[in-house]
Structure 1
Amino acid sequence: MSLSGELLAFVSLSLVAIIGGMLLINLSKVVHMVIALVFTFISIAGIYVILSAEFVAVVQILIYSGAITIIMLFGIMLTRHNDSGEPKASAARRIFTFLGIAGFAAAVYFGIYNLDIPVQPSALHESNTEQIGLALYSKYVIPFEVTSVLLLVGLVGAIILAKKDEQEGDRS
């Protein structure tokens, strides 16, 4: 295996994504968890750039790193979440978690190491934004619209729950 810049960038971005995910699980303060999640989202956007999916990378940064993160922070503020953390996990739990992650990584590695996928010609690099638009608004238009309605229902439900908690707090 030769060491190329693309491989080095992929490994670096993958490590940032994995470390961000592990920090998300192990940090105790919610705002710090959101920051770790942002690092994970941005590194995944970098992997999309390596895969020549620039449009998807920009959408990843705009939607996930921007909008979803802001919605999470608003949710934290609306629910008046105190920033005190949970008690620290025991050493045995941390070791068990690490072994589980290492076992999963080994299973994935050995599962794809000798995988022989035949090479098929594709035109992914040519007008990939147009291809995404055509597929999204022709073949996948119903799931796209259902997803937008589902997100709207989730947002309205979150607002209703936050207002209900606020009204119950006023009665106390």
Structure 2
Amino acid sequence: MSGQLVAFFVLSLLSIGGAVFMISFTRVVHMVVALAFTFLSIAGLYILLEAEFVGMVQVLVYSGAISILMLFGIMLTRHDAEETDVKKGPHQFITFAAIVVFFGIVFFGIQHTQWPNQGPDFSSQNNVKEIGIQMYSHYVIPFELVSVLLLVALVGAIILAKKEEPEE
């Protein structure tokens, strides 16, 4: 059992655990922390796959920026003092059974798939340099339009969050 396999299983369990905690917590701040934890473990999986650029972008954009943006959104909006309780009922058993069936189907599919013995060798290529050349030579306009779109969305979110309710 290699160290890479152990790291894969640990990061996979952390990623799945963070996602499960994110949907099972009732407080929004705890959900954001669990989501950031999931994002960080996914970045670790990208680094294990030798996609260092994508892993670092995952850390910077999702783990950093999106999590901070969600926390600001929580702070800028109003919340009731009482947290709503999740009603438990027979639908939880059905959901759990559906998850087990889905896991079984995916596990069976993975076990019976013919995987190639050797993957492509990316170690001789400089992925970051190639991404930069493609992005700044062929995709400059879409890159800048996405940045403007994100800026407009941020300003709109601030305006909506600060909008005062009419007094009664």
Tell me the TM-score normalized by structure 1: 0.82
Task: Give the structure 2 partner of residue 41 of structure 1.
Answer: 39
1:168 aligns with 2:153: no
Task: Give the structure 2 partner of residue 152 of structure 1.
Answer: 151
- Return 149-158 or 116-125, whichever deviates more: 116-125
- Return 58-67 or 35-44, whichever deviates more: 58-67
Task: Give the structure 1 partner of residue 131 of structure 2.
Answer: 132
Paired letter, 2:72: F
Task: Give the structure 1 partner of residue 17 of structure 2.
Answer: 19
Task: Give the structure 1 partner of residue 56 of structure 2.
Answer: 58
Find the aligned partners of 2:119 and 2:20 in 1 and give their Cα distance. 35
Find the aligned partners of 1:134 and 1:143 in 2 and give their Cα distance. 14
- Return 96-105 or 30-39, whichever deviates more: 96-105
Find the aligned partners of 1:130 and 1:55 in 2 and give their Cα distance. 10
| Structure 2 unaligned blocks of 5 or more | none
Task: Give the structure 2 partner of residue 90 of structure 1.
Answer: 88
Task: Give the structure 2 partner of residue 121 of structure 1.
Answer: 120
- Aligned residue pair count: 167
SS in structure 2 at match of 1:62: helix
SS in structure 2 at match of 1:28: coil
Find the aligned partners of 1:168 and 1:26 in 2 and give their Cα distance. 31
**Cα pair 1:48 1:56 within 8 Å, conserved:** yes
Residues 74 and 114 (structure 1), Cα distance of their counterparts in 2 relative to 1, 3 Å cut: same
- Return 124-133 or 4-13, whichever deviates more: 124-133
**Cα pair 1:45 1:57 within 8 Å, conserved:** yes
| Structure 1 unaligned blocks of 5 or more | none
Find the aligned partners of 2:111 and 2:136 in 1 and give their Cα distance. 36
Deviation at 1:80, TM superposition (A): 2.1
Deviation at 1:139, TM superposition (A): 4.6
Identity percentage of aligned residues: 53
Select which of 99, 102, 113 maps to 1:101: 99
Tell me the TM-score normalized by structure 2: 0.84
- Return 64-73 or 115-124, whichever deviates more: 115-124
- Return 50-59 or 96-105, whichever deviates more: 96-105
Find the aligned partners of 1:49 and 1:6 in 2 and give their Cα distance. 11
Find the aligned partners of 2:102 and 2:24 in 1 and give their Cα distance. 18
SS in structure 1 at match of 2:165: helix
Paired letter, 1:25: I
Residues 120 and 50 (structure 1), Cα distance of their counterparts in 2 relative to 1, 3 Å cut: closer
Paired letter, 2:125: E
Find the aligned partners of 1:156 and 1:51 in 2 and give their Cα distance. 36
